[in-house]
Amino acid sequence: MMIRLPIAYLTCIFLFAFSPITQANTCNLIHPATHPKQYRQLLILSNFSTIQSIQEIPTRLHEIARIFAHQGDRRGFFPAIYAPASEQAISSLTTLTPSALKKMTWFFAEYYFNTLYKHLTAQHIPPYWHLYYQSALTCHTPPLLVISYGLLAHLSFDLKGALLKANITDGLLPNYLVHMLINSIPIESRTK
């Protein structure tokens, strides 16, 4: 059986595994009382209603990841992976890309930003994202497990919601998958 994973995600995961943030044994928390400036910046950046264009998404993700990383806050693990992956996905959109796929990309990002904003403001978030944030705040959880929870939440649940919200039809879905896998490499999975 052949599994294809986008190069962007594989590269990001590899780089993340060896990055300084995963090597550092810190487990700090950006809290409004102790880090008011950074907390305020995160609230502004995660407010999806203020995003004017799809091109702003990777920039904001990079900045969110930077703020978290600078303070040693493990909640920045997922945006550290998502930022370059979204950058590549958004840069691959062209004028020939169907509008439904552009909408789906927009809604896909919206799920993450809204969840982060709700998490920061202590509102209810979906259980799959709650698992990510709880594991990020638990210092003994291995960094790659934390990022796995983030990837699982975003790719398994947010993607489904974005596809439904963008009204991606069965006929368009295979085109989207082909479009997203253009820059992919095969990984063989052998069963015994």
pLDDT band at 3 (very low <50, low <70, confident <90, very high): very low
- Structure confidence at residue 24 (pLDDT): 46
CB count in 10 Å sphere of residue 70:
14
**Is the CB of residue 90 less than 8 Å from the CB of residue 58?**
yes
Kindly give, in sequence order, each residue whose CB lies less than 8 Å from that of residue 172, ignoring residues fewer than 6 positions away: 98, 100, 101
Q: What is the mean pLDDT of residues 26-40?
A: 89
Q: What is the pLDDT of residues 60-73, one digit of tens each?
A: 999 999 999 999 99
Tell how far CA 190 is from the center of its chain: 29
What is the number of residues in the chain?
A: 192
Confidence of residue 11 (pLDDT cuts 50, 70, 90): low
pLDDT of residue 5: 45
Give the range among 2-11, 79-88, 167-176 with minimum mean pLDDT: 2-11
Question: Given a cut of 90, is residue 28 above it in pLDDT?
Answer: no
The pLDDT value given to residue 133:
96
